[in-house]
Structure 1
């Protein structure tokens, strides 16, 4: 069992190169981030090469105050495509494997059409770089009004578009809050999943407490043949290094 440190939450107060080095020292097998664009990509790449950690992915930008992505907004298509190009350029510069295309707050048929059109643009652009495009449903408690509401909606889009590099980001925290029955959803959606993330339900803390039994989730992922690093996207209660017993236990168990 391998784990990726999501540096949007873990060591978030440090420059990204420093956070990468801390993740390596703490025993993580990979890293991922949210919005790294203020960081020098050459320094980020140097830290990745120094530690040997892969960068699994990054997000397209929020798009301004009150926004959480642009790609499903009917009146923001040029900005959405500029954000995709920006993310792709940064991903190539640091060697990231995936770009999460954020949909934003929108609903309705027009938003759906715009989102699919922008995803097609992203998939076509990413194909030449060997980069995966990820989409992620967000729960309505944390992101009310977000376009992607649940895994059924995301799966329908992925299957209808039939793009080999378009995959689902399956965040156990969001699925646990919105849909429940996380293991059954993992089993059903495994062929579409490109990345798995974890956090406690419902407080988004470390995956060592709460409603979701993560040892059972890890055992299910093992049984399903999942071998990629699992993204630790949680809010630490204190120093990250002081709260990693859950990861040590998971690695020992396998």
Structure 2
């Protein structure tokens, strides 16, 4: 298996270019991040070129204090689309292949209509990129608009854009739904990226409720060949948390 270091959590104490270099030194096959916007894209691009790594994805900004995305918020369409455009421009500047459009705290038909309209904008503005949506669990993100994979699937089908895909975060979906083996098989055609962490503590993927040996073998058998995102919270230095990788890589 191939693995991507999520630099929102791994080596988060370092400037983003240094974190990219650390991921390369640790043996990761790619990187991804949350919000890189405080770092000039030329500096990120230079680190990616130096290491030969690809940045797989980044997020649209959350918004103001206490917010978790803007794209499903009625009355915030102009801000949401400005942040989508900003994320697309940054992704293109560093050769990043995907943008995760964050929905925010909202509910109801009006929020769904706004989210679909903003996703339509993102997909049309960036047909060369994958646009991702991600269900977040109700414990870590209470009130987030999107929390279940069946809802994400309906949105993807309604939007009707081939570049709109599901971020299948095993941590969030295990908490909300479970049955990940069958869910991976059923949703594979719309999955754009897979992320892993232990449940329930979001630590290294070598303990807890989920057997990632089984998850990785399932993905292998389904024909998944892209890097899996390691989006976990290390306890202590990131370099001391990487013992899980050799065993899963061998699957």
TM-score by length of 1: 0.98
Q: How does 1:24-173 map to 2 (within 5 A)?
A: 24-127=24-127, 130-173=128-171
1:167 partner SS: strand
Q: Distance in 1 between matches of 2:249 and 2:151?
A: 33
Question: How large is the RMSD of aligned CA atoms in angstroms?
Answer: 0.6
2:179 alignment counterpart:
181
Q: Distance in 1 between matches of 2:190 and 2:64?
A: 30
Q: Distance in 1 between matches of 2:51 and 2:232?
A: 22
Q: Distance in 2 between matches of 1:184 and 1:141?
A: 23
Q: Distance in 2 between matches of 1:159 and 1:75?
A: 24
2:5 alignment counterpart:
5
Q: Distance in 1 between matches of 2:178 and 2:244?
A: 22
Please list every run of 5 or more consecutive structure 2 residues that lacks an aligned counterpart in the other structure: none
| Deviations 1:201-226, CA, capped at 9 Å, x for gaps | 00000001000111000000000000
Q: Determine which of 217, 226, 229 is the counterpart of 1:228.
A: 226
1:63 partner SS: coil
Shift of 1:95: 0.8
Shift of 1:232: 0.3
1:238 alignment counterpart:
236
1:247 alignment counterpart:
245
Shift of 1:162: 1.4
TM-score by length of 2: 0.99
| Deviations 1:7-64, CA, capped at 9 Å, x for gaps | 0000001000000000000000000000000001101000000000000000000011
2:192 partner SS: strand
2:126 partner SS: helix
Q: Distance in 1 between matches of 2:179 and 2:12?
A: 30
Q: Distance in 1 between matches of 2:75 and 2:147?
A: 20
2:198 alignment counterpart:
200
**Aligned length, in residue pairs:** 251
Q: Distance in 1 between matches of 2:117 and 2:83?
A: 14
4+ residue stretches of structure 1 with deviation over 3 A?
none
Shift of 1:75: 1.4
Q: Distance in 1 between matches of 2:67 and 2:240?
A: 34
Please list every run of 5 or more consecutive structure 1 residues that lacks an aligned counterpart in the other structure: none
Q: Distance in 1 between matches of 2:73 and 2:222?
A: 36
1:73 partner SS: coil
Shift of 1:159: 1.2
Shift of 1:72: 0.2
Q: Distance in 1 between matches of 2:165 and 2:249?
A: 26
1:142 partner SS: coil
